[in-house]
Structure 1
Amino acid sequence: MSATVNAAEHALQALGITEPEEIDVEVVAHSLGAKVKYRPLKSCEARIVGQDGRAIITVDTATTLRRRRFSIGHELGHWHRHRGLCLKCRSADIGRQTSDGRRTPPTAELQADAYASDLLLPGYIFRPLAGDFDRLTLEAVKILADRFQTSITATAIKALGTNRFPSLLVCHSQEGMRWFRRPPIVPDRWFPRSDLLPESPTFRTLFNGGQESRKPVSVKASCWFDTPAAERFTVTEQTFVLPNNRVATLVGFTDRRMLEV
């Protein structure tokens, strides 16, 4: 296996998968010795039980198709990394985001999430398709998400991971910032402020029930960064609504001077 190919991508390449539409998670699971079943679940969103190279993954039927796909990928991540354990994964355990965007030691759940992301958004397929876009907009993310049948959030995070787009993805609740993602291309000094200012369209979406942004909107960088340097620049923002009264915003750096180290 090439050093640039991870375990999830290796499983896909072993099946000859070269296009997003070919990623059938049940077929992939079968190739890895796991059978997928769908049942109403109350105590968890998905679980896996395995022995002697065989496993059964059970997924809650109440979730959406894209959520079920990610849950299967998540459980396959456990099958790859934590074989021998009986694991039940709650909704809060699957697709969890760390709060500050900094690197932290991966937990078992984060390792399983990373595997799911690599399985559903494999780099060898995703990177060339993401490269067709000049900048990261919500429209571009939705186009990619529809092709890969993944959530907008997971797709945006994977796009930032290509380090092609000078943007942040920031999640807020009415209590403040919950988490954010920053690619290496964006200097560490641009750390999002915890609050939202009323002049930001994202504020209106979150607190006043405003509409999601159809196009990126230019705002003062001080709306997003609590530092004197932000007064000299503008950024773009484009917001989409998340469950549990949260919103996520793509913050785009349009002035290359902000990227200078």
Structure 2
Amino acid sequence: MSRRLTLPERLLQRCGVERPGEIDVEAIAWMLGAKVKYRELHSCEARIVGREDRAIITVDTRVTPRRQRFSVAHELGHWHHHRGRCLICRTEDIGTSRRQSTDPERVANDYASDLLLPRYLLDPMLRGVPKPTLKAVREVAIAFDASLTATLIKIIESDRYPMMMVCHGPKGRRWFQASASVPARWFPKDDLDPESCAFALLFGAGPEESFPRRIGADAWFDRMEAQRYELLEQSYALPNIEVMTVLLLIDPKMLGDRDTSRRA
């Protein structure tokens, strides 16, 4: 059975978008009655002010063009779902996946993700990606003019690969997200193992690994059975002294006994 298109995906198809490079968020905003302006903002990263069927989206000029693009899509999510409400979007509100599904910022982020990384264009591209290495995912991200992290989140949501992304800061794990095929018992440790490439990248200014490397699963999961398995890990640096690690579960035995009670 084919997947049902989301509202942003249907919008893109009505606009005749057949390739990632054709996704013009300013043109889409204009079509939806919203004009985009860029100026230096101090209390927020983006905002939308509207009345009836017209709105103005203002985006901070001090962030990267790619971040501005996501902010516009995020505000369009508010324009569709929360019209009439006063919402100021701070940096931590835009792009994060750690909120409840009913939170207005999470709803706007999901709308932006579907608008910028529509599955009807992403899925065919992923068929040519046998393994989600950072190099391969970066190429996909560039094609969609999206961030590496946003692209990874979308790929994980597609559940094409049994994988997980884990964010750590100096004080421990910040958040993680796993594909549906990864059983909930594989809950990552709070602290990084000194043998992981993420540890070196975060604390030792080590370089990013060019390719995923094998490591014992017990470096990432505090379970007795983890000692029997290996997985692939690859990490990259994030702003604000954080590191993101992509874990790919390569042993089919790790995927048995699925449990959907995962919490992050």
Above 0.5 in TM-score? yes
User: How far is the alpha carbon of 1:161 from its aligned partner?
Assistant: 1.1
Aligned match of 1:186: 182
TM-score, L = length of structure 2: 0.94
1:29-88: per-residue Cα shift (whole Å, max 9, x none)? 111111101111111100000111111100001010110010001000000000012322
Q: Is the 8 A contact 2:216 2:226 kept in 1?
A: yes
Q: Is the 8 A contact 2:164 2:177 kept in 1?
A: yes
Structure 1: distance between partners of 2:60 and 2:133? 32
User: How far is the alpha carbon of 1:105 from its aligned partner?
Assistant: 4.0
Aligned residue identity for 2:150: A
Aligned residue identity for 1:197: D
Aligned match of 1:244: 240
Q: How many residues align?
A: 256
Structure 2: distance between partners of 1:252 and 1:214? 15
Structure 2: distance between partners of 1:204 and 1:3? 41
Aligned match of 2:9: 9
Structure 1: distance between partners of 2:209 and 2:80? 39
Aligned match of 1:175: 171
Residues 1:198 and 2:194 are matched in the alignment? yes
SS across alignment from 1:133 = coil
User: How far is the alpha carbon of 1:254 from its aligned partner?
Assistant: 1.3
Aligned residue identity for 2:131: R
**Correspondence 1:8-47 to 2 at 5 A:** 8-47=8-47
* Distance change >3 Å, CA 3–CA 188, structure 1 → 2: closer
SS across alignment from 2:35 = strand
SS across alignment from 1:170 = strand
Q: Is the 8 A contact 2:23 2:116 kept in 1?
A: yes
User: How far is the alpha carbon of 1:203 from its aligned partner?
Assistant: 0.6
Structure 2: distance between partners of 1:48 and 1:9? 22
Residues 1:155 and 2:169 are matched in the alignment? no
Aligned match of 2:98: 98
TM-score, L = length of structure 1: 0.95
Q: Is the 8 A contact 2:215 2:230 kept in 1?
A: yes
Q: Is the 8 A contact 1:237 1:251 kept in 2?
A: yes
Tell me whether 6-15 or 54-63 shows the greater mean CA deviation: 6-15
SS across alignment from 1:47 = strand
SS across alignment from 1:180 = strand
The Cα RMSD (Å) is: 1.3
Structure 2: distance between partners of 1:84 and 1:77? 13
**Correspondence 1:19-168 to 2 at 5 A:** 19-98=19-98, 104-168=100-164
Structure 1: distance between partners of 2:224 and 2:159? 26
Q: Is the 8 A contact 1:50 1:86 kept in 2?
A: no
User: How far is the alpha carbon of 1:97 from its aligned partner?
Assistant: 3.0
User: How far is the alpha carbon of 1:3 from its aligned partner?
Assistant: 7.9
Tell me whether 165-174 or 87-96 shows the greater mean CA deviation: 87-96
Structure 2: distance between partners of 1:215 and 1:196? 19
Give the percent of matched residue pairs that are identical in Structure 1 and Structure 2. 49
Aligned match of 1:212: 208
Aligned match of 2:227: 231
User: How far is the alpha carbon of 1:6 from its aligned partner?
Assistant: 1.3
Q: Tell me, which stretches of 5 or more residues in structure 1 are unaligned?
A: none
